[in-house]
Every structure is written in structure tokens, then in C-alpha cells.
Amino acid sequence: MLRKIDDYRWEIPQEGGMRVPGLVIASEKLIGKIDSERVVEQVRNVATLPGIVGRSLAMPDAHWGYGMPVGGVAATDAVDGVVSPGGVGYDVSCGVRLLSTGLDAAQVRPEIDRLMDALFSAVPSGVGAGGALRVNAREMKGVFRHGAKWAVSKGFGEAADLDVCEDGGFLPDAGEDVPSDRAVERGADQLGTLGSGNHFLELQEVDEIYDETVAGVFGLRRGQFVILIHTGSRGLGYQVCTDFLQVMRKASHRFGIRLPDPQLACAPLSSPEAQEYLAAMKAASNFARANRQVITQRVRETLERTLQRAPKELDVRVVYDVSHNLAKMETHDVDGKPRRLCVHRKGATRAFPAGHPEVPEAYRGVGQPVLLPGSMGTHSYVLVGTEQAMKETWGTTAHGAGRRMSRTQAAKQTHGGELLRELLKEGIHVRTDSLRGLAEEAPFAYKDVSEVVEACHRSGISRKIARMRPFGVVKG
């Protein structure tokens, strides 16, 4: 039973095998759908993980997922806790990158069809799609070690790009030899590609500024042409998760860990299984970051070639790059004392406040940018991290709109061709390799992103800075 604390907080009382209570952050409008999707049941299940600290959490965009809900957050003690691949997800380090430009959207719209065709060609999308860049097994070790930094060293972007990425664009101590041969094989030709599902590359216009000062620090202004990229570790990350779910099932049995849902299979952080998983997860995460960096350079080159403008005039800069499917070792305040924790964020985004040492220096005075994309054809938002998030959600907020119906349900309600025409009437030009996949990602299949953002803003776990409206979408 949910107990309402205030307009944006709903407690799940501790009972049965729960080691901590649960907390859902949502508005009155969102909570009904969240409750009906078994999210509350999954939050309860997560609360049974050994070593869990504080509360088992669900963000405003939460919906049912594998083991842990998408939009779920759980922190486990670094000494006595566990790590669970189900608390990270299949698409390891799936994330969002925002690029700003020196152009107004009005300057780009007359060239939109040519530009969309060029981007669709330059950044492959779709299930299993590969690109022109192929990385052999030996070179892949460099990707695993250095992430976006590897991509920059190979000419994909600039060193300055890394200064405004989460973790500087890569996680240290990745296991270059841990991902399986099959994982390496699946990722060999997938750097610089979007993939399928809800991944996208969107051309957007900044149409609303809520905080001029912070927006200025982020380099955003009204009317500006920006690009939002959403993709992850592709088949490589999926394979890493698949491989280690089997490992963790055996580990749970070996360590006598009993859970209400076997999809939450886990291992003590001190165990060889956990350490090996974390090393593989970091390698997959670095692959995802390299992927978004390669795409960034493809976008720069395509804009220069298609719009016939010099790089200085285009001024394409990385605003921020953040992952939303990770388990990270972090230090947080617990009962007034600093404590090392393994924070699982599955479909949830870091929202660190001003002054935090892990916020890039350029933004440390105002806080970390939070990138919250909407569903196809709807607004996306930039928010900023807050102290309230640090106190209540381990520095975490929502990662997007969140699904409200399955892909199968969505495809039954519309056809991709019909959706293409509807979006075009709204001034949104779409390129896709799959009309079926397009129908599955119809805007009505997702929650109202503005409602999700308001819940984040009014609960205080992040604060609105800017809003963007898409006018071009490359869809997987």
C-alpha cells in the first residue's frame, strides 16, 4: 500500500523481507500508472537486496523493467552490499549527449530535408546496424580502457569535448579482457551507430529558457539550434549483461542469497563475480561513451558538408554527456557520515549539485546539467542537479518520459507511415529504417514528459533550465 507523504512523494512501508522502505517520486497524475505497472512490487523486491541503504527508489518516469523498474535507484553498502546487473539493465551506459551550435534553428530549417538525409546516411540506425568504422579485438581494448578519450585520440572530436562529459568521458579500471569474445564481436562495427528502440538523434530548437543565468553557463539561448543524441553500448552492452546474468544466478545460489525475483540475481561486492561484472560493465560503459563521441564527430562533419559552413561558424560544442544505466561507486552522506556506496541507476540520471567535485569544472558553480529527453515529437528538457537530490535520491533524477504502454500495444494503435505524416504536419521531419519500429515509439506510448519534468522540478530533485522542441528526428 502506498502512503502519500506530500504531493510528490509516496512511501512504500517496510514489510516482509524488505530491508528498507520504498519511495516513489511522482505527481498524483503519474502515480496511478506507476502503481498499475507493478513498479511498486518491483521497488519492494529491490528493497530486499543485501546491504541496501536508505530507501529503494523510483523516479517519476518509472515503469516495469527487468528485475528493477526502469527509473529505479538503489544504493548498497560498499562493504556489506551487492551489485545486481538487473539494477543496471541490458543497455549498459545508455545515455544522452547534448550538442549546442552557434546557429539559430531558423538558419537550418530551409535545409532540413537535405540535412536529414545526410545525417541518416552518416549515423546508421536500426536493429543490428553497423557502420563504416570497424574495430578489431586488439583495438577494442583501447576503447574499453579509454572510452570517449579513445575516440578523440583517433580523430573523432576534440579534447575539449571530454571536459564537459560525465567522468571526463570514461570510467577508469575497466576490464579490457573481461567482455566475452561474443560481446567484442557484436560491438566490432557498432561505434558511431544509434541502434533501435527509443534511441534517436534529434535536431532541436531551444524554445524556452527558465533560468537565464544557468542556461548561459551551459551555453544555451532561445532560438538556438541544438542536437540531442540518445544511444548506448548497443549489442556489446547487451551481451555483457546477458553473460553476467548467468554468472550472478549461480553466485546468488553460492552465497545463499534469496530474493523474491530471480531477475535481481546479485553477488557481494567483495566477491570475484561482482568485481568481474563491474570491470565488464565499465568496459561496456566506455564503449557507449566512445559511441556517442564518434557520432558527435559524424554530426560535425555532416553539418559542415551539408550546410557549407566553417567549423568556427557552426561552433558545435558538447554541452554534456550523461549515462543513465550504471552502477557506480560513490561517497554519500548517510546519517551524517560519509559512506561509500554502490549506486545502481537504471533508467535514472545523476543530478549532482553545485560545488560537487564530480561536476565538470565549467559547471561546478551552478550544478550538473541534467538531460531529460521526451518521446518522439515532444519537447526535451535541460535541468540542473540540486542539493535536495543529494539528500533524498543519492543525487538522482528522472531520465526521460518513461513508457506508458508496450511496443506491441503502440504498434497496434498506429502505422509508421501514418505517424510519419502526422509528425511532418507538425513540422517534424523523420528518417527511419523501420516503419514498425517508428510506430512502437509513437509519442502516445510514453508518459507526458512535461508532467515528469514538473514532478522532478517541484519535488526538488532537479530544477528546470531550458526546453527544446524537435524539428528533425533520425530514429532507429
For 385-418, write each residue's pLDDT tens digit.
999 999 999 999 999 998 888 888 888 888 888 8
pLDDT at 434: 86
**pLDDT above 80 for 203:** yes
Is residue 44 one of the residues assigned to a domain?
yes
Is residue 414 one of the residues assigned to a domain?
no
State which residues form the domain around 261.
3-404+446-475
pLDDT at 371: 98
Count of domains forming the chain: 1
Produce one character per residue of 211-250: b if its CB has 16 or more CB atoms within 10 Å, e if not. beebbebbbbeeebbbbbbbbbbbbbbbbbbebbbebbee
Q: Are 265 and 118 in contact (CB under 8 A)?
A: no
pLDDT at 129: 66
Is residue 111 one of the residues assigned to a domain?
yes
CA-CA distance, 263 to 88, in Å (whole number)? 12
Is residue 292 one of the residues assigned to a domain?
yes
Interval 172-184: pLDDT, tens: 999 999 999 999 9
pLDDT at 134: 93
**pLDDT above 70 for 284:** yes
**pLDDT above 90 for 245:** yes
Is residue 413 one of the residues assigned to a domain?
no
Q: Are 194 and 476 in contact (CB under 8 A)?
A: yes
Question: Which pTM does this prediction carry?
Answer: 0.96
Cβ within 8 Å of residue 18, ≥6 positions away: 44, 47, 48, 56
Q: What percent of the chain has pLDDT over 70?
A: 99
**pLDDT above 80 for 212:** yes
Q: Return the ∠ at Cα 69 (arms to 398 and 13), rounded to 5°.
A: 95
Q: pLDDT-derived band of residue 383, with 50, 70 and 90 as boundaries? A: very high
Q: Number of H helices and number of E strands within the chain?
A: 17, 19
As a whole number of Å, the CA-based R_g of the chain is 21
pLDDT at 390: 98
pLDDT at 148: 98
Catalytic positions, please? 399
Nearest to 339 by CA among 330, 350, 326: 330
| DSSP secondary structure letters along 1-30 | --EEEETTEEEE---TT-SS-EEEE--HHH
Interval 106-154: pLDDT, tens: 999 999 999 999 999 999 887 666 677 899 999 999 999 999 999 999 9
CA-CA distance, 118 to 13, in Å (whole number)? 53
Nearest to 227 by CA among 124, 55, 112: 112
Is residue 409 one of the residues assigned to a domain?
no
pLDDT at 105: 98
CA-CA distance, 307 to 277, in Å (whole number)? 44
pLDDT at 402: 87
- Over residues 325-351, mean pLDDT: 97
pLDDT at 223: 98
**SS3 at position 159:** helix
Q: Are 322 and 255 in contact (CB under 8 A)?
A: no
CATH number where 78 lies? 3.90.1860.10
**Grid coordinates given for 181:** 569474445
**pLDDT above 70 for 214:** yes
Half-sphere exposure of 382 (CA within 13 A, CB side): 36
357-to-75, 97, 104 alpha-carbon distances in Å: 20, 21, 33
**SS3 at position 234:** helix
pLDDT at 440: 86
Q: What percent of the chain has pLDDT over 90?
A: 87
pLDDT at 22: 98
Half-sphere exposure of 124 (CA within 13 A, CB side): 15
**pLDDT above 90 for 36:** no
Chain mean pLDDT for the chain: 95
- At residue 73, what is the residue type? V
pLDDT at 403: 85
CA-CA distance, 402 to 391, in Å (whole number)? 24
Q: pLDDT-derived band of residue 37, with 50, 70 and 90 as boundaries? A: confident
Q: Return the ∠ at Cα 449 (arms to 410 and 322), rounded to 5°.
A: 105
CA-CA distance, 248 to 263, in Å (whole number)? 10
Is residue 128 one of the residues assigned to a domain?
yes
| DSSP secondary structure letters along 128-144 | T---S----HHHHHHHH
**SS3 at position 253:** helix
Indicate the range of 301-315, 435-449, 451-465 predicted with least confidence. 435-449
- Over residues 232-259, mean pLDDT: 97
Is residue 52 one of the residues assigned to a domain?
yes
